[in-house]
Structure 1
Amino acid sequence: MSGTSCEAVVLTRTEGIVLRTLKYGEADLIATYLTSDRGIIKAFAKSPRKTKSRFGSSLEPLTHAKISLWGKEQASLPKITQSDIINSFHHIRDDFQDFVSVSKLIEIVISLIPESIPNKRLFSFLLNILHTIGSSEQGSKDALHLITRIRLLAAIGYAPRLKGCGKCGRESLNFYPDAGTTLCGKCAGIPAGEGKPFIRIHDNTIRFYSHSIEWPVHISNRLKPRREILTELSALLDRHLTYLLSKKLMSSEFLAGTGR
């Protein structure tokens, strides 16, 4: 009995959101998708860069498409044989702030979610965020961009805890990135202000954060926080994510480099 695999080659159809693409050779691409029924997968696209075809357009980042995949059932890199655009979300790609904000979400998903684990809830959630950002009125969307990051972290179980000490529940305004929560001085094991680094936050920031998690994303534009709240909470999330990922988000570093 030989040890060769008898696994059948099959054609499957699914919906996916293009998270990113990687050039492969002179004209090929490897696309990373978040799919509705297979989670995060990678797939091979033959020669989409040779011409400006609709097939090539369907592989643009953020595109929501119905795709056909050819390969063995457990293949790590099936071939894309067909890709039909459902929504290109080109308005997001064309808006610098929107695109950088969504790039942060995608980087978080790719970094924290294992491949090939079905997660229909996450797929629907990300699709809802893309529709919300893409259909929002022009102007300052800083609050919306921040809220989508908060909601994504909550959806995948990595949101920081800001309401009370994470160990005993006592009130605390000191957030410890290495713990992912606010801690009172006693539970932190040190007098406040000494030893382990923490971020001091304000009551208004905690209230805005709580509303951001509780309110549906599509009505989050009703929240109009002051600039200092956005700045404080954005810095906290950056520190939180840096600790989780052991590195800074590339999209955050890129934005800092532009001076925006």
Structure 2
Amino acid sequence: MLRTFAAIVLKASPYAEGSAVVSFLTEHGERLSGVAKGIKKPTAKWVAAFEPLGMVQVSFFGKEQADLKRITRCDLRFSPLTLGHLESSLVMACLADLFDRVAREGVEDERLYRLLSACGRALKAHPDNALGILAYAEHWLLHCLGLLPHPRTCGRCGREDAPLALLSEEQGWCCTGCTAVDPSEALPPGAREHLRRLRTAAAEEAPRVDPADEAQRAVTALLRQRLLRELGGSLRSYDVLWRLV
């Protein structure tokens, strides 16, 4: 059976005899993997198509129940890669790692494809805001996973005007009006406003990283820790990012 999809490349891992197993996020939001033979050969025609976050048209051949199908064709349609921009390239690797963990074979979620394709185009347009786009993607991934309640109201008392104090896994966002918390451990003022910007902005308008914005720093760290904890711990691509940026 031959099946063709619009998809986004996630990861390529070495396989037997100079081949690679490549994972993709399809246009339907499902993770699919296939074997690309001869990818290591100097004459391989499709090596450039397997860069992380490349948007491709890919064809798989194999039995429906086969664990690994064969990739018969992979045409690159769009690449977010900006030559010479290290930070953007590192963030691309982080996003590929994240979506490779979140997406599932046999489970479709079109929101994942829409989110990753929007982030890829945003990285191409604004590579200097790569870290802001990464934080934007982390926020929306938590939302897609059902782990991020709406910050408009306090999950305990329902207030909308008091500053947010913390994020509780049981009750959601809790405010300072009903939650006793050490001031040094509470979210800085402006956390709700930053969350609102993340929720309402398009990927290309993702808030830029501002080292002086304490609320932004705190929210980004909180959401990143929550997401990575859900995925089983730190990812190698993140470790490389923090070593080099």
Structures share fold, TM-score greater than 0.5 = yes
Cα distance per residue 1:156-193 (max 9 Å; x no partner)? 433355444324424463324654833358987xx534
Instruction: Give 1:13 deviation, angstroms.
Output: 1.1
CA distance in 2, matches of 1:120, 1:166: 28
C-alpha distance 166-52 of structure 1, shift in aligned 2 (>3 A): farther
Q: Quick check: which has more Rg, 1 or 2?
A: 1
Please state if 1:253 is matched with 2:239.
Answer: yes
Report the alpha carbon displacement of residue 210 of structure 1 after superposing the two structures with TM.
1.1
AA matched with 2:42: T
Match of 1:59 in 2: 50
Query: How high is the sequence identity, in percent, across the aligned residues?
Result: 22
Aligned position for 2:148: 159
**Which blocks of at least 5 consecutive residues in structure 2 are unaligned?**
none
Q: Report the counterpart of residue 88 of structure 1 in structure 2.
A: 79
Which residue does the alignment assign to 1:220? 206
The code of the aligned residue for 1:159 comes to L
Query: Structure 1: how far apart are the matches of 2:230 and 2:108?
Result: 22
Answer yes or no: is the 8 Å Cα contact 1:176–1:199 preserved in 2.
Answer: no
With normalisation by structure 1, the TM-score equals 0.78
- Contact kept, 8 Å, 2:9 with 2:22, in 1: the verdict is yes
- 1:185 & 1:117 partners in 2: Cα distance? 39
Listed as ranges, the matches of 1:1-260 within 5 Å are 10-37=1-28, 39-91=30-82, 94-136=84-126, 139-159=128-148, 161-170=150-159, 171=162, 173-176=164-167, 178-179=169-170, 181-183=172-174, 191-193=180-182, 199-220=185-206, 226-258=212-244, 260=245
Structure 1 contact 38–116 (Cα < 8 Å) conserved:
no
Tell me if structure 2 keeps the 8 A contact 1:143–1:225: no
In structure 1, how many angstroms separate the alpha carbons of the residues matched to 2:171 and 2:52? 31
Q: Cα–Cα, structure 1 residues 199 and 236, in superposed 2: closer, same or farther, change >3 Å?
A: farther
Taking only aligned residues, the RMSD between alpha carbons, in angstroms, comes to 3.1
Equivalent pairs, count: 243
Deviation of 1:60 (Å) = 2.0
Q: Which has the higher contact order (CA 8 A, sep 6+)?
A: 2
